[in-house]
């Protein structure tokens, strides 16, 4: 009997302790923030930097504390991973966060181990673009042409492991075609060579290529988003026009250090999603070739895990290593 009473008392003690911890966590979230918040991101002028500044400006007003942007590049990933999990140091970053460890041996961070997802913020789907001299008007026709002429078509890309490189390697893998890579130091020179016909194909974001498409110097076949996009009205998706399941987009998300209390993650998620749902945020992102995409932490986590599984197979087969 005494053992039963002791066990029951112990259970009551555990429940009370659990309620106290939860109450303390919720209370700390209600007080948050009491000092400036920092969002660490990549290089100044990058897509992630643009998003970080948009979010920081809105959060400063919503949270009643200054939210500053700190441009740190890849070194910032380790900084945030080691920061206290108190909500005051956040990360706004794109695919290098989860893909670089697949491309290099010396990555010191792990997206699952070191970071807590807060929200997806934006997506920039790529366009499949060809020179008008290529006799293809759809993804289906492009795949048929590439299969009929193996290793005769080529594509331009930035450095090894860049988004323009991985997007085409994924396309090749799923379509079962052999298209030869022409590497460049940056996407700008690849685009210039595509315009003059020195390169046949490019899969890249639409922000810098739309004027050339509208002028007829380049031909866009499809957009690599899951659904048709306002970024390219009237253009079909790659998946719907010849390659089911294909999707290639640059994404940015906001993360906190691992073990950040759920109450703080929930608060930050709500404020960020509320910001992204405003007409101003949507218009500003559209102006630079991005779509506002707020999400739950669970949705961002699932998206990353799916990308890692899909791209790790492509990277391994193609033997891609980051330069």
17 pLDDT exceeds 80? no
pLDDT digit string, tens, across residues 83-135? 999 999 999 999 999 999 999 988 899 999 999 999 999 999 999 999 999 99
Q: Which residue has the higher pLDDT, 17 or 184?
A: 184
CATH 3.40.190.10 assigned to domain 29-123+251-304? The reply is no
Structure tokens at 240: 């719907």
What integer pLDDT is reported at residue 311 of this predicted model?
Answer: 95
Structure tokens at 122: 């934006």
16 pLDDT exceeds 70? no
Share of the chain above pLDDT 70, in %: 91
State pTM to two decimals: 0.86
Q: Which residue has the higher pLDDT, 206 or 9?
A: 206
Tell me if 29-123+251-304 shares its fold with 125-241.
yes
Topology annotation, domain 125-241: D-Maltodextrin-Binding Protein; domain 2 (3.40.190)
Q: What is the mean pLDDT of the chain?
A: 90
Q: Please report, for the chain, the start and end positions of each structural domain, with discontinuous segments joined by +.
A: 29-123+251-304, 125-241
What integer pLDDT is reported at residue 47 of this predicted model?
Answer: 87
Contact in structure between 277 and 264 (CB atoms under 8 Å): no
Please, which pLDDT band fits residue 28 given cuts at 50, 70 and 90? low
Q: What is the mean pLDDT of residues 193-208?
A: 92
């Amino acid at each position: 009997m005494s053992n039963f009473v002791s066990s029951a008392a112990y259970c009551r003690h555990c429940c009370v302790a659990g309620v106290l911890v939860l109450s303390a966590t919720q209370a700390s979230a209600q007080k948050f923030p009491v000092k400036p918040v920092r969002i660490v991101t990549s290089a100044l002028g990058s897509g992630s930097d643009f998003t970080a500044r948009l979010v920081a400006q809105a959060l400063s007003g919503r949270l009643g504390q200054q939210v500053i942007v700190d441009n740190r590049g890849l070194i910032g990933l380790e900084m945030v991973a080691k920061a206290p999990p108190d909500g005051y140091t956040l990360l706004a970053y794109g695919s290098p966060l989860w893909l670089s460890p697949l491309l290099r041996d010396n990555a010191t961070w792990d997206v699952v181990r070191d970071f807590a997802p807060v929200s997806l913020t934006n997506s920039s789907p790529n366009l499949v673009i060809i020179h008008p001299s290529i006799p293809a008007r759809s993804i289906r026709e492009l795949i048929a042409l590439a299969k009929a002429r193996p290793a005769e078509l080529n594509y331009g890309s930035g450095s090894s492991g860049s988004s323009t490189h991985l997007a085409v390697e994924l396309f090749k893998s799923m379509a079962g075609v052999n298209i030869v890579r022409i590497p460049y130091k940056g996407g700008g020179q690849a685009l210039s060579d595509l315009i003059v016909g020195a390169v046949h194909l490019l899969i890249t974001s639409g922000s810098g290529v739309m004027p050339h498409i509208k002028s007829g110097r380049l031909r866009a076949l499809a957009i690599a988003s899951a659904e048709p996009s306002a970024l390219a009205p009237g253009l079909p998706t790659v998946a719907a026009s010849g390659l089911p399941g294909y999707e290639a987009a640059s994404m940015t998300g906001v993360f906190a250090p691992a073990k950040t209390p759920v109450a703080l993650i929930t608060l930050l998620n709500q404020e960020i999603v509320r910001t992204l749902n405003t007409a101003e945020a949507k218009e500003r992102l559209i102006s630079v070739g991005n779509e506002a995409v707020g999400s739950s932490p669970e949705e961002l986590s699932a998206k990353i895990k799916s990308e890692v599984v899909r791209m790790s197979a492509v990277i391994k087969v193609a033997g891609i290593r980051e330069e």
